Chain A
C-alpha cells in the first residue's frame, strides 16, 4: 500500500487514489489528420517497462486532482511526484 504525496493535499494512503495509466501521452490536436495506425498508436499503445515509468494518478477520494508520478515498477519506489503540465524529472 503506497503512501502517496499528493501535490495538493500531502501524504495520503493509496486507497484514496486511482491510477490512470501512462503519463505524457497528449491527445492529438488534429485527430482527423491522423492515419488509422497513428491514431491506434495514441489510442492503444502503452509502455510496460521494468524500471522508472511516468504515470498519471488521481486523488479520486480527496481533492480530485490529477498529477503525475515517476515510479520504479520493479520495486514500487516513487521517485517523484509533479503536477500536470510540469516537465518530468530527468533523474
Chain B
C-alpha cells in the first residue's frame, strides 16, 4: 500500500528535511513544506475520511481552504484536540498527529457505511419527515440523533494556547497574494500608500507561481519566472507589510476586516511553547483591494466522490508545487482548456495520463496540439456515466453525450485509472466581496457571478473580479489600479503579454448518466452528502427559494460552506425550475470564510480578563475577614462574612440580629454617585424625580423615585443638597451608568436650556454605612466634636466633617430602618476610616454585614429593591408608594403615563407582603401565587419577589406582586410548589417597626 509517489524535487519542498508524522495511528514521512494532504498523497493515501450522512469513503479533493472531504482531527488523543482541520492547510511538522473523522471503528472499516446501502431511506428532509411522528417520541429520537450528529470531537479542557488581537490601520489592504495581489500591493506601496498584503498560504504567488505554463509569457519570459522576480523585489519596498498564513475571515462595513494570522501551527512542539498561536487582526483600511482568486469547480456526475477523484487544478499543484503524483494512471474530465494544462504538466514530469474526457465538441486551443503530440487520447463530447472502486477509484465508464447534453448515447467505454482530475471551470471567490454588502451580477455566457461594482473604497481584481486570462488580468488591473489609487502610471504598464485564449465553452450543471437519476449519486455538496437528486426532490416538493432549498437539503451548510458545489446547486435549481440563474441569486455568504477557533475570537479576554471586576477600597479588609463575595454588575460586593464553619443562613441570621440589636457596618461604596451642579439643579431634580425638590433645605437628604417616560419605576436613591446649586445623587449599584446616561440624554436633547452639569463620582468616594442602636455612640467616639443630637443632626440630613483631617460627608439616612449613618470618604481613605469604625465599634460588638443581610433588613421594613421587587412594569402606585408622587408638580419624567387608562387600572399587579401559615417555611423567590387550587387552568396572580427568614421577627416574610393585591389584605392565597401547596396570607409590606420609631432610637 505505501508507495512513494514523490516524482520530482520541487523548489518549495525541502527534501533534506525529512519529517515523520502520524495519521490514523500509522507513521508516515514527508518533507518540510508539505501539507498533511500532500504528504499523505506522496504515501499514496487518498482515503482520509467518511462522509457525513452515508459514511462513504472520501479522499482529498483540493489543495486549499475549500477542501470539503479531507477534514481531520488534529492531536486526536489529547484533551485539547482540534476538530475539522483541513488536511490541505495543515503544514506538517515533526510529531504531528491527525486522524480521520466521522468513522467508527476506523476509516477503513466503518460501521456507519451501512447508511450508504440504506441511502434510498435517507432522502432530503429525512429527519424532518421521519422523526416528527408520533410527536411525543421526539425526546427519544433526539438522543440518537444527537449522538450521530456533528463532525469531529470537540476538546474537553481549557485551550492552553495564547491568542492575541491586534488593531491595524492601513491605507490599502490587499487580500490575496497571487499575481494580481502582488502587483496591486507593490504599486500601492510605491505610491506612498501604507499597504498591507495578506495571503492564507505560506508562499506568495498564488497559482501562477507553480503553473509551469510556457504559453503564458510576460516580457517574453514565462509568467511564473517574471512573477518570482516581482516577489523578490517586494522585500525592498517601504510602506508594505506582508503577512502569510493569514486568512481574512470577515469583511464588515466601512472596510473593517477580521483576519486570522496563524503563527505557530506549522512549528514543532518545542517551538510553539510560550508563543502566541494565532492573532486576530482587526483591520480598518481606507481602501481594500480584493484579489482572492477563483476556485475550480467540480463536475457533477454519478459517483463523483470516490477517493482519487480530485480537482484538476489540485492535481497540478500537487505535482508542480509539492512534487507529488496523485496517481499512477491519471484521467482528466473537463469542460474547458485548463485540464489540458494539468495533463501536460503531469506528462512533462513523466506521470502517466491515460486520457482526457471533454464534454465539448472541440477546442482549438494551442495546447490541444501538445496533448496530441504527447499521445494522450482525447474523448470529445463524452461524459463519465459512472465510476468504480470503493476505497479508491479504479476506473470510469464513459459514453457519448447527446447534442443537447441531456442524455448519453452509444457504447459504454471503461477506462481504468487510480486518479481522476475534474475541471468544471472557475468560480470567482466573491465571499468577501458579498460580505461587505456589495451585490453580484451574473454573466450568462460564462456562467459566473462576479462583482458588479467597484467603489471608491473597494475593488476586485484578477480572477475574483471575473478576469481569468493573463492578458485580461494584467490589462484590467492596470486600468483599475490607476483609477482606484488615483495614480498616473503603474510600474507594469506597457509590458508585453502572450497567452492562449479559451474559445470553446460548454457548461452542463448535472451531467447525464445511462441510469435514471434515482439510481445515481451525483454529489453536489460532498461534505454534507447532498446530491443533485436531493435538490430535484426539494423542488418537486415545492421549495422554490434558494435559501429554503439550501436548508432543506443542507447543501452548502458544512464547514466549507459549499465552496465547491454551490454554483452547481444553483444551476440545477435554475435548470429544473426553468428560471434564469441571475434571477435566482445566491445564498448568503457569511463570515468566517474559513472556521475560526474560539480562542482566536476571544483573544486575551479569557479567565480573569474575561470581564472587568470593580472592587471597593475596603476590598482587602473583606478578604482578610473571610467575606464571601457576590457579583453585582461588575462589582464584587461582600455577600456575608461566615465565622468558622457557619453556613450562609447562619451567618446572615447572626449579622441581621446584630445590626438591629447593637451595631452593624456595611460597605456601600458601590452605590452610584452623581454630582449635580448648576443654577438649575433643583429644577432638574424636579423634572427627573416624582417628588418635589425645590424646597429641600441645604444639608438635607431626600429619597427619590425615578420613572421612565412610560411611568414605570427605573431607579431610586437618596439625594443630598450640599449647597444652593449643588446636589449629590445616589443611584442603585447596577443602575448607576444607565441613570447617568439617561440624565445626560434629557439634559442634552430635551432641556439644553438648563444650567446643569453631571459628573460621575462613584469611584471617588468610599462609603461605610454604620447601622444599629449603638451607631451613634460609635460615631461619637470617632468624631467627638460633632453634636449628634436629633436637633443638630436629625434623620435625613448631612454634615461635612473632618476625621483625622480627612474631609468626610456623613449622611444620617437608613435603608434598614435602624438609626444609621453613611460615612463617605475620599476613596483612598476608605479602608482607614472603615478600620476606625471597626475599632471604635469593638466594645459594641460591631458586626460587618454583607448584601444578603442588607436585603433581609430592608425587606423587614418593606423597602423595595429596584430590579428585584420591580421589573419594568411597576408604577409607584403599583408599589403602594403613591405618597412619593407629587400631585402639585406640572410635569416630571413619566408623569403623563401614570394617567393612561392602563396604568390607572385598579387590578394591576401590586406589591404586597406575604406571610406563610407555617412561619418556618421560607417561600422561593419567583414562585407563582394562585387563589384556587382545584381550578384548571389556574390563573397566576403574581409571584414572590423577595423572601427571607427574619431572625428579628422569628418568622418567614416575603414581598410579592399580586394582581389587585391592594384589595386583598388578609386574603388567603397559595404558592403551589412541586411537592406541596404553601398557604400564605396577604399582609402589609412593612413587617417591622411600622411607626419608624427605631430611626430615632
Q: Which residues of A contact B (CB under 8 A)?
A: 1-3, 13, 18, 20, 26-28, 30-32, 34, 36, 39-40, 43, 56, 58, 60, 64-66, 75-76, 84-85
Contacts and interface: CB of A to CB of B under 8 A. Distances in A.
B252 A1 contact: yes
A13 B168 CA distance: 13
Contacts of B437: 75-76
Contact of A32 (B256, B896, B901): B896
Given A3-B256, A31-B891, A58-B745, 17 more contacts: A1-B252, A1-B254, A2-B253, A3-B254, A20-B745, A27-B709, A27-B750, A32-B890, A36-B901, A40-B900, A58-B741, A58-B744, A66-B744, A66-B745, A66-B748, A76-B253, A76-B437
A69 B895 CA distance: 30
A89 B749 CA distance: 18
Contacts of A1: 252-254, 256
Given A3-B284, A76-B253, A85 B752 contact: yes
A64 B901 contact: no
Given A43-B709, A75-B437, A56 B254 contact: no
Chain B CB within 10 A, most for which of A60, A64, A76: A64
Nearest to B895: A31
Contacts of A30: 891
30 contacts: A1-B252, A1-B253, A2-B253, A3-B254, A13-B284, A20-B745, A26-B750, A27-B709, A27-B750, A28-B896, A30-B891, A31-B896, A32-B890, A32-B891, A32-B896, A36-B900, A39-B896, A39-B897, A40-B900, A43-B710, A43-B897, A56-B749, A58-B741, A60-B741, A64-B744, A66-B745, A66-B748, A75-B437, A76-B437, A84-B749
Interface of B: 252-256, 284, 437, 709-710, 741, 744-745, 748-750, 752, 890-891, 895-897, 900-901
B942 to A, nearest CB: 25
A40 B710 CA distance: 9
Contacts of A36: 900-901
B896 A34 contact: yes
Contacts of B253: 1-2, 76
A79 to B, nearest CB: 14
Contacts of B890: 32
Nearest to B284: A3
Contacts of A75: 437
Nearest to B747: A66
Nearest to A44: B710
Contacts of B901: 36
Nearest to A67: B748
B620 to A, nearest CB: 29
A39 B254 contact: no
A20 B745 CA distance: 9
Contacts of A40: 900
A84 B752 contact: yes
Contacts of B744: 58, 64, 66
Contacts of B749: 56, 66, 84
A42 B475 CA distance: 59
B284 A84 contact: no
A46 to B, nearest CB: 13
A66 B710 CA distance: 22
Contact of B900 (A20, A39, A58, A84): A39
Contacts of B891: 30-32
Given A40-B900, A43-B897, A66-B749, A2 B709 contact: no
Contacts of B710: 43
A23 to B, nearest CB: 9
A2 to B, nearest CB: 6
Contacts of A84: 748-749, 752
A43 B709 CA distance: 7
Contacts of A60: 741
6 smallest beta-carbon distances between A and B, as pairs? A31-B896, A3-B254, A1-B256, A66-B748, A27-B750, A1-B252
Contacts of A64: 744
Nearest to A65: B748
Contacts of A20: 745
A16 to B, nearest CB: 13
B807 to A, nearest CB: 28
Contacts of A13: 284
Nearest to B758: A64
Nearest to B891: A31
Nearest to B760: A64
Contacts of B709: 27, 43
A60 B890 CA distance: 31
A4 B437 CA distance: 18
B642 to A, nearest CB: 39
A22 B891 CA distance: 23
Contacts of A85: 752
Contacts of A3: 254-256, 284
A66 to B, nearest CB: 5
Nearest to A78: B254
A81 B752 CA distance: 19
Nearest to A60: B741
Contacts of A76: 253, 437
A60 B741 CA distance: 8
Nearest to B902: A36
A28 B896 CA distance: 10
A39 B901 CA distance: 12
Nearest to B709: A43
B684 to A, nearest CB: 14
Contacts of B284: 3, 13
A75 B253 CA distance: 9
A29 to B, nearest CB: 9
Contacts of A43: 709-710, 897
Contacts of A58: 741, 744-745
B687 to A, nearest CB: 10
A69 B708 CA distance: 24
A70 B806 CA distance: 51
Contacts of B896: 28, 31-32, 34, 39
A2 B253 CA distance: 6
B173 to A, nearest CB: 14
A17 B718 CA distance: 30
Nearest to B438: A75
Nearest to B745: A66
Contacts of B741: 18, 58, 60
Nearest to B893: A27
B16 to A, nearest CB: 47
Contacts of A28: 896
A82 B377 CA distance: 71
Contacts of A26: 750
A13 to B, nearest CB: 8
Contacts of B748: 65-66, 84
Nearest to A84: B749
